[in-house]
Structure 1
Amino acid sequence: MRVGVLSTYPPRACGIGTFSRDLREALLGCGDVSAVDLVAIVREDDGAQAAEVLTRVHQDQRGEYAAAARVLDRRGGDVVMIEHEYGIFGGSDGAHVLSLAAELRQPMVLTLHTVLSTPSVGQAETLRALCDLAALVCVFTETARRMILDARLVSPERIRVVPHGGPVELLPQAAAGERLPQLPDRTGGPGPSEVEPDRCVLATFGLISPGKGIETAIAAMPAIIDRHPKALYVIAGQTHPEVAKLHGEEYRISLERMARDLGLSDHVVFDDRFLDIEDLSSMLAATTIYLTPYRSREQIVSGALTFAIVAGCPTVSTPYYYAEDLLSSGAGVLVAFDDPTALAEAVSGLLDDPQRLQRMRARAREVGSGLTWPEVGRQTAEVLREAVTLGPPGT
């Protein structure tokens, strides 16, 4: 089975691009997937593309979408996946992607990375048109499934739930206790630093933007430190490129200033890189509690939270949709949006109760073991095989 994928892709710094790279590797580990060809959505010429990138589509050039469909057809693929999020496609509400979808001769599987409870008229029209062209529609959680059914975007028999995956390299290793885990390089620091055994490490990673709510976690730190003076909050990741393009490093600088003004220089550190898997594994191995203080209820998936659970990290999070689904297992606790007091109390409560924290860690490890990329690749390949059998809608 030869698979085509339309998505952002490295070197573009984008969570969906990272997802597609990891999914490609997982699919190639399935016995009957012979090749995965990428059509990379680019904002600009992002430099050299990987060998698996068949062609590029400039995000705002509508004509390139239809041309890419013809390239995929000439390649002789069996099925095409579209990784959908409104912001990565050009046109009003990302409508340019319809030009590619309408030209496809192969069956198409649509994966929804965003499902809005109250979409605009244009967003709903674009998504409904895409769903009509799909053989099958994939979502990451049962909540997302219910939402698209409630919106009558697609009939229930054409929806499949496949979880987000995480790298096997993040799974907790028995040998990890033989040496102290390391934090990645800190901004302006000399290199990786070992974590002292008595340090309580809180962590957030990913592309940094105002929607991440990091200021809420920083504001919670003084109250956490009052009860746990060794607490350290690590904020790792680059500024989101779209945020940087419009506002530069304004948001990151505001966070650094806030930490400094609160006297937290010894308790809040920043690492301004897009972490590779080795650095990420080291950081999560050192993490006592993972934080996702995101500000939008609408977030239906989070690769960062998935990775943290795969790494076995107990988590304190705001109640966005994906966190509600993933943490209902007992792998974490939820607190109100934009509430530093509630966040501080939840974190301190867990640190005050090592047995409860250990139970939560065990549950995270149990859940995370089923979210590795090989398992998610296997489930995705099953959906793709089904789509090939079904063929395009109307056939």
Structure 2
Amino acid sequence: MAERQDRLKRFLKDEARAIGFDACRIARADDMPDSAAALRDFVENGYHGQMAWMNETLERRSSPLSLWPEARSVIMLAMNYGPDEDPRPLLERRDRANISVYARNRDYHDVIKGKLKQMAGRFAARSGADVKVFVDTAPVMEKPLAEKAGIGWQGKHTNLVSRDYGSWLFLGSIFTTEALDPDSAEKDHCGSCRACLDVCPTDAFPAPYRLDARRCISYLTIEHHGVIPEEFRSAMGNRIYGCDDCLAACPWNKFAETASEMKLSARADLKAPELSMFLGFDDAAFRKFFTGSPVKRIGRDRFVRNCLIAAGNSGHPHLAAHCRSLLEDDSAAVRAMAVWALARLLSKTEFAALAKSRLRDTDEDVRREWKREEEVPCI
């Protein structure tokens, strides 16, 4: 039995490397009691915001056995997506759009899932065991499982940290009925460091290892529907999809190994795209430009809403013409954020003249923005 286990684990790790994964380790399917309690606390505190699916899948997410009772082992896979350079200097180029590093190429869900299926099929043929594959769209607590398997540990920013790859890892899992010998869990190596907590522009961490998603720019730009709460708009800067600040601040990144040659490289047109281009997107242009990208999932309206906030934060008055054209947009959230942006890009006199003809918008959020911005000092 021990010899069979060794052969299967060697096979898995060899296959993982050959197919493009940077780490492959094993966890027991029944080894997650602490994580379930932390998840329940997260939801009970309302930290999940509008992500109702987290409450709806709470029980299934609490343990791999809730998702598949026959599972005995979880094969955790990780792929390094670390950028070639620190993404934070782009935050200073306010006429440019800042898209999170992970979303600058193909949708990683599709990339990872294809590789998982290929690897799971080979393992099933070799072992005779049943298998199921999951990426993070399924109710699986991948980060705690990756910690149990020894790939890394959940840092104070709640993301997985690896001594080999820092905070830049995509995760996927293969559940199997094969009872494989588990690898040793990883220990927490954050120590007294607070770099990820202190860099957060919206104070989204009420305590180390606890995230209030409602304050997180990644949540606000991707998951949040409707108008962005005013208290977070200025802090968003030019971040139009996601936020890398807490990941990029992690000191473990400097010890990261060189990424695999199979790593997804950023599209050249997504490294520092001009905001003005995105502000002109209709639905067809948005879908065409982001074909195969995770950005496409949020839809054109939320995307342009985010771009308008970036325009308002830019300090570049030449973007006002693009914002003005969106005052007639079909989306109320887009119209509302166009008002907010124009209040910061136009002079007080120009904005006041514009407001006189626009206060009759039928949407309450848009009317509220016009009335509020009448009192806001403009350029």
Same fold flag (TM > 0.5): no
Query: More strand per residue: 1 or 2?
Result: 1
Query: More helix per residue: 1 or 2?
Result: 2
Q: For the pair shown, which has the larger CA radius of gyration, 1 or 2?
A: 2
TM-score range, shorter chain: under 0.3
